[in-house]
Structure 1
Amino acid sequence: MLVTVVTLTRNRPRLLARALRSVQRQDLDAPCRHLVVIDDCHETYLSLRAREPLPGNVRWLLAGRGPEDVSGPGRSARLRNMAVRASRARWICFLDDDNEWEPEHLSSLLECAGRTGHRAVHSHLTMLNADGTPYLEPREPWARDAAEGRAQWAWMRAKGVVTPGSCVRRDRLDPPGVADPVVSVDTGEWLLDRGLLLDVPFRDVYDARDEAASVGEDDKFAMDLRARGEPVSCTGRATLRYYLGGYSNNFSLPFDPTFSWRDAGEQEAVP
């Protein structure tokens, strides 16, 4: 298979159905496989079984949990790395179960990779509220403090990532040597060479400082790519439809009863 799309899912079968439809609507001529990794959720397992026969390019994998396993960036990173090892495709993409893609997402990424020869290419995104309306508030939704969120948004505006009155986010990964760099690419924006992902797996250990700064696996992955000087290119097209309300930007409701930024048993404090 040329492309494997990896979707991690737990306790959200309705949203997963939207993600499945999104992948099936891709205008891609090349072979594509959709690997759905069910994170120890019987309800989602039954939902997929009820939908069978699924499209021929969809397969699913049920990942069990041990007593120490909790939802969070560490768990997500381990499942992403497991899916990469299980795939034999040249290219890997990640679509979270609560997001979707425009039909030209994969084809535009593959065109960009073919044109540049880069092993890491990405798109831009449109940021939406959970109900699908455009997110137009001038603050970064990942900041817990409102004032800090407004300051971060103003910095992103100065860097050309966000624009007042628009829900398009022009994410990018500035190369080494750029002062005050932008290091912001969501996992769902990437098309990545499998060999690169084997060399640079998602980091699965997070501490109290990561939790305080809402640093997730996509942030650390982008940092690692930048640190090694990996060439990166962008399609310039906003083909990821990113819906707010996940663990990284919902601070009022529990994302999952087991959720923890750090693994169970870790009690580190911010120094």
Structure 2
Amino acid sequence: MTITRTRPGLLGRAIDSAGRQLLPQGFEHLIVVDDCPETYAFLRRPGALPPHAGWLLAARGPHDVSGPGRSSRLRNMAVRISRSPWITFLDDDNEWEPGHLASLLECAERTGHRAVHSQLRMVHPDGSPFLDPRDPWSEDHEKGRAEYERMLAKGVVERGTCVRRDRLDPLGVPDPVISVDTGEWLLARELLLRIPFRDDFDAHDEAGRVGEDDKLAMALRESREPVSCTGLPTLRYYLGGYSNNFSRTFDPTFSWREQGTR
């Protein structure tokens, strides 16, 4: 499932990567257009979508804004209307490697777990590898370097490579790693109906760049849901989204917190 708004060019790249998945049984790619005429027109063009893809247009109310709360509500809506036993997520600015879905399904079948995830390669918007020794979600450079060193000690990152070995440490682990991007997950629909994406975000979340993927990971951890990882970096994660963009406004409606909660 992909949520998209105002970025049809990037969406086309994401759609292409989903179409290259190596799955003998096939899958459905649902695209949720967040009230954007430009993207709506793009998807209505002849040949814009492969046969396995479909889309729906989500209208906005007068107080709806872009941000993690809106994304959570759209994801939850898509989960409710889906009839697939398994759900994955692909942000419109990211890509999947061809073996992404197959490796996730194999991991779920092998472990019997309802929550499995991949790992990722982090790249700049132009596709070049992100090799800076800092955490890209920290606006303060000193804090970013300190967090990188912590992740280095934990085995999540490694100098000279853009691979990020994300994981979700269980309860009881000291100084845990709680880092799985939305696009890395394969989750049972029944699990997402029981533990949906949280849509409440406050000033503390904004200061810490806590997104809907962070809250989902914490909720899964707190519920003691068993989690497995493929160990494969099959998500190509492009920097420049709202969680690591500190210099420009890509959507004038964006707000970390809902209107009226500032």
The match for 1:225 is: 220
SS at match of 2:232: strand
Q: CA deviation at 1:255?
A: 2.5
Q: Is 2:73 aligned against 1:40? A: no
The match for 1:91 is: 86
The match for 1:20 is: 15
Aligned length: 262
Q: Is 2:162 aligned against 1:172? A: no
1:1-271 matches, within 5 Å, as 6-52=1-47, 54-267=49-262
Q: Which runs of 5+ in 2 are unaligned?
A: none
Q: CA deviation at 1:55?
A: 2.0
SS at match of 2:190: helix
Alignment-mate amino acid for residue 223 of structure 1 = M
Kindly report the root-mean-square deviation, in angstroms, between the aligned alpha carbons of the 2 structures: 0.7
* 2-structure distance, mates of 1:175, 1:125: 20
> Percent identical across equivalent pairs?
68
* 2-structure distance, mates of 1:54, 1:187: 23
* 1-structure distance, mates of 2:62, 2:242: 21
* 2-structure distance, mates of 1:182, 1:116: 21
Runs of 4+ aligned residues of structure 1 deviating over 6 Å after TM superposition are: none
The match for 1:3 is: none
SS at match of 2:44: helix
Q: Which runs of 5+ in 1 are unaligned?
A: 1-5
Q: 1:241 to 1:51 in 2, by over 3 A?
A: farther
Cα deviations by residue, 1:179-219 (Å, 9 ceiling, x for unpaired): 11000000000000000000000000000000000000000
Alignment-mate amino acid for residue 41 of structure 2 = L
* 2-structure distance, mates of 1:163, 1:53: 39
Worse-matched range after superposition: 23-32 or 130-139: 23-32
Maintained 8 Å contact 2:123/2:238: yes
* 1-structure distance, mates of 2:231, 2:47: 37
Cα deviations by residue, 1:223-270 (Å, 9 ceiling, x for unpaired): 000001000000000000000000000110003100000001112xxx
SS at match of 2:28: strand
* 2-structure distance, mates of 1:218, 1:124: 14
* 1-structure distance, mates of 2:231, 2:175: 21
Alignment-mate amino acid for residue 106 of structure 2 = E
* 1-structure distance, mates of 2:48, 2:91: 22
Q: CA deviation at 1:54?
A: 2.8
* 2-structure distance, mates of 1:8, 1:161: 27
Cα deviations by residue, 1:36-55 (Å, 9 ceiling, x for unpaired): 00000000000000144632
* 2-structure distance, mates of 1:44, 1:69: 18
SS at match of 1:109: helix
* 2-structure distance, mates of 1:102, 1:148: 31
SS at match of 1:50: coil
Maintained 8 Å contact 2:42/2:48: no
Q: CA deviation at 1:57?
A: 1.3
* 2-structure distance, mates of 1:14, 1:168: 25
Q: CA deviation at 1:31?
A: 2.6
* 2-structure distance, mates of 1:159, 1:88: 38
Give the alignment's TM-score, normalised by structure 1.
0.96
SS at match of 2:61: coil
SS at match of 1:248: coil
